[in-house]
Amino acid sequence: MDKKVYEEFAESLVSTYKIPGAIVALNNDIYEKGFGYRDKENELPVTADTVFGIGSVTKSMTSIAILQLQEKGELSVNDSIKKYLPEITFKGSDEITLHHLMTHTAGIPPLDSLFYANKQSMEKDGSFDIQIKLGMPLDWEQDSIDTYDELIGYLNNLSFDLLDQPGKSFSYSNDGYALLGIIIERVSGQPYERYIEKNIFAPLGMESSFVNPDQLDEQAARQYDMDPTAETPAIEYSPEWWDAPAMWSAGYVKSTANDMLRYSGVFLNKGNGILTEESLTAMTTSYIEIEPGRYYGYGVMITSDYFGTTLIEHGGGIKGVTAHFAVLPDKNVAAICLTNIAGAPAEALLRGALQSEMNIAPDKKAVQYNNYTLSETDRQAITGVYQSNEGQKIKVYEKDEAIFVETQGAEIPTRAVGSKAVTITMQGTEFLLQFKDGRLHFGFRQLVKSE
């Protein structure tokens, strides 16, 4: 690995995106580097033992727990969710299985429940009010969702249709993974956090990994944020960790780079005693394509041709957290990037490190999309406003015979790569936007076009 070339690339990203602190580490002592500070105010460095949030990387752990329970004969991924959640009544729920939840193919649209599950935390740091100012249609009068019963009740009372018949199409759902957490708790007879601590963290020696924010101490990175409604937005320390006990299984684990490299042993060592080889194969099977060449398994994404090898990965992001975890099983290489601010280019930092280890330029794109010239008919077909109840609102519009995207007040130029596909560059990464049947597939979610 040419560390000089990689670190010039990484330092440029850290500087451009004003990342307070980050850690990038590869297994087998290949590479480890802390950038910036875990605590800017006191200039405390980031180390491989600094605790960060890992966001939705948690979903792979939730999937492991389900597969462990399946190994014990206590459930099957093909079971209906009604077997364990009989009180669920929302439209279409009769057809949903655990497999559908684990692969984000249940058809559950992006919903606003995560905001209400975080509401108590968001009220403490003022971010609930900020979301409303930004146009998020949140209701101040809606009670916070603090328990599993309240989450199920909220979903039952919402008026929504499934996006598709279960199993037919992909749309990322935090709610689906929250329901898996309830199932783990009911089947195992243990609280979700206790189950994964006992059955995943402890056997792997992940002594600094946990869910409950009450366990945070001085080894934790300070979280930073930016108020987008301020006249001159600046990155500032934001002490309140968002917490949503009803949705812990969707993205609330805290961990360190060292612990996450220990975790990678599950994928590199045939389950490493945590899963059987059969379960690991099931977890890393490409069940549904989410982008060209990129598929979803159980809590992980799989790219079968990442510069000629297989890449298994997942990212995570929430307030004060951007994380990315990956393994190249054929090369026995694992990598983790953890940062202490939302919206950081963690994926780009991690991929750059992996590619440097593979003697590939850190900024080279694994998937190359060819330029495409949109016709007037093409442009008219994709323009419009696309949104979801999870808060995304994306305006796609034409200007000077080119297509632009507006999101969170920013105008972003696009590059057409097909008659119904464009890309945009954010967080140091090129993202694909695909248009189909009046929906925008972006950020792994389906956004519906406004009438």
Q: What is the pLDDT of residue 206?
A: 98
Q: Are residues 349 and 406 in the same domain?
A: no
Q: What is the pLDDT of residue 130?
A: 84
Q: Are residues 341 and 392 in the same domain?
A: no
CA-based torsion, 436, 440, 446, 449: positive or negative: negative
Q: Are residues 313 and 213 in the same domain?
A: yes
Cα dihedral 228, 232, 236, 239, rounded to 10, equals: -50
Contacts of 62 (CB under 8 A, 6+ apart): 177, 180, 181, 184, 196, 249, 250, 299
Q: Are residues 294 and 383 in the same domain?
A: no
Q: Are residues 319 and 386 in the same domain?
A: no
pTM of the model: 0.96
Q: Of the candidates 169, 222, 214, which has an alpha carbon nearest to the alpha carbon of residue 50?
A: 222
pLDDT at 131 over 90: no
Backbone phi and psi for residue 240, each to the nearest 5 degrees, phi listed first:
-85, 115
Domain range for 265 is 52-233+245-357
Residue 39 lies in a domain: no
pLDDT tens profile 14-35: 999 999 999 999 999 999 999 9
Q: How far apart are CA 99 and CA 76, in angstroms?
A: 9
Residue 28 lies in a domain: no
Q: What mean pLDDT value characterizes the chain?
A: 95
Q: What is the CATH number of the domain that holds 389?
A: 2.40.128.600
Q: Are residues 170 and 296 in the same domain?
A: yes
Q: Are residues 275 and 399 in the same domain?
A: no
Q: Are residues 290 and 392 in the same domain?
A: no
pLDDT tens profile 311-368: 999 999 999 999 999 999 999 999 999 999 999 999 999 999 999 999 999 999 998 8
> Domain total for the chain?
2
Residue 370 lies in a domain: no
Residue 36 lies in a domain: no
Q: Are residues 331 and 388 in the same domain?
A: no
Q: Are residues 250 and 391 in the same domain?
A: no
Residue 25 lies in a domain: no
Residue 326 lies in a domain: yes
pLDDT at 369 over 80: yes
Q: What is the pLDDT of residue 393?
A: 87
Residue 2 lies in a domain: no
Q: What is the pLDDT of residue 372?
A: 95
pLDDT at 451 over 70: no
Q: What is the CATH number of the domain that holds 74?
A: 3.40.710.10
Residue 168 lies in a domain: yes
Are 385 and 395 within 8 A, CB to CB?
Answer: yes
Q: Are residues 353 and 398 in the same domain?
A: no
Q: Are residues 313 and 437 in the same domain?
A: no
Lowest mean pLDDT segment, chosen from 14-18, 128-132, 369-373: 128-132
